[in-house]
Amino acid sequence: MTSIQELDGRKGRIITDQDASDISRVEELSYDLKINETMTREVKSVTPEMRLASVLEILRIGRISGVPVQANQNLIGILSIEDIVRAMEKDDLGAPVSKYMSTSVISVNAYDPVVKAIETFSTYRVGRLPVIDESGKLIGIITKGDITRGILTALQKDYKVEELRRYRASHLFEDITSDRTSLILRYSIKARDYINGGQASSHIKRALLRLGASPQLARQSGIAIYEAEMNLIIHSDHGGIIRVQIEPHRILMQTTDDGPGIPDVKLALQTGWSTATQEARDMGFGAGMGLVNIRRCVDRMELESTPGKGTKLLMEINLRNEERFKESEQAEVTPGTKEV
């Protein structure tokens, strides 16, 4: 068995992940929200026979800039304020709607994600889109303003839920009295599971933030555990286990697998050295920077490996006074550990 221990990896340095690009929650919501969740349901429509002067009054009272045109409950056109302005320039407000309406109706489906409406607005540069159901029946209207309000409402709900979760999590150590309290997180990682690579590190990072960790500390831990997670996916035969022990004064992260092991641990710690397969390299992995990046982010790193038997990687971050999680000031005799 070969092993190596690294101490004082970060020494107070600021670790950043500038190369990481996260999808913002606003972008995520544009895919999560459906059009029928943000559209205006009370649709004011007109008939092709109505006079433009009457429609102008409808727009004024409703403070809207356009209306769908229906005949026999079928959507046949759209009339906008721009169309009415064209009629006013010709002193033709007595004309029927059918004379100035647009018959090229661009609509969206109620069950489509909001991003579909955004793409349609961008492509056709219209101000409003009729929303139809599965049978083609008009059930709503969506504007860019509707989308903005819908996303803001969803973000507000997100914020309230997340604040409640953060409050509960951040008081976890404070509310438990024991000589030594630990929160243990465990994740099973599958070999060659590139699609789900990074999920465990993402969950761990989110858990730390909810416990009250600073964004900087969460990033450092996230980078270290991401590299360790990808090593299990790329190099292990059957995957492995990630175990994270969170205590008020430290974060202890560990990965274990049952093979194939590392013949030369010192060589494995050199920048650029890698045993990644061609498959992993073709997917952009295996640059030989994993252990190097881990060492930059942690205070202690221990790597033990036996060829043919497996590898154990231990990473520890000791929390500074301002980083420590809150805990009860009183202590009882019985130690407590909560494992998830």
Q: CB under 8 Å, gap of 24 or more: what pairs does 317-320 form?
A: 317/10, 317/217, 317/220, 317/221, 317/224, 317/250, 317/251, 317/253, 318/249, 318/250, 319/217, 319/248, 319/249, 319/250, 319/251
CA distance 235 to 303: 15
Structure confidence at residue 306 (pLDDT): 93
Q: Going along 81-173, which residue ranges are E strands?
A: 108-109, 128-132, 138-143
Each domain of the chain, given as residue ranges in start order, spans 2-26+172-339, 33-150
Omega prior to 68 cis, within 30 of 0: no
Q: pLDDT tens, 123-177? A: 888 888 999 988 889 999 999 999 999 988 888 887 776 666 666 666 666 666 7
Which tokens in the block code for residue 240?
Answer: 């492995």
Q: Given 1.20.1740.10, 3.40.50.2300, 3.20.20.100, 3.30.565.10, which CATH number is that of 2-26+172-339?
A: 3.30.565.10
Which tokens in the block code for residue 303?
Answer: 């790597």
Q: Which stretch, 191-200, 263-272, 283-292, has highest mean pLDDT?
A: 191-200
- Average pLDDT in the chain: 83
Residue type, 280: A
Residue count of the chain: 340
At 18, the pLDDT band (50, 70, 90 cuts) reads very low
* CA end-to-end span of the chain: 31
CA distance 242 to 254: 6
What is the dotted CATH code of the domain comprising 33-150?
Answer: 3.10.580.10
Structure confidence at residue 299 (pLDDT): 96
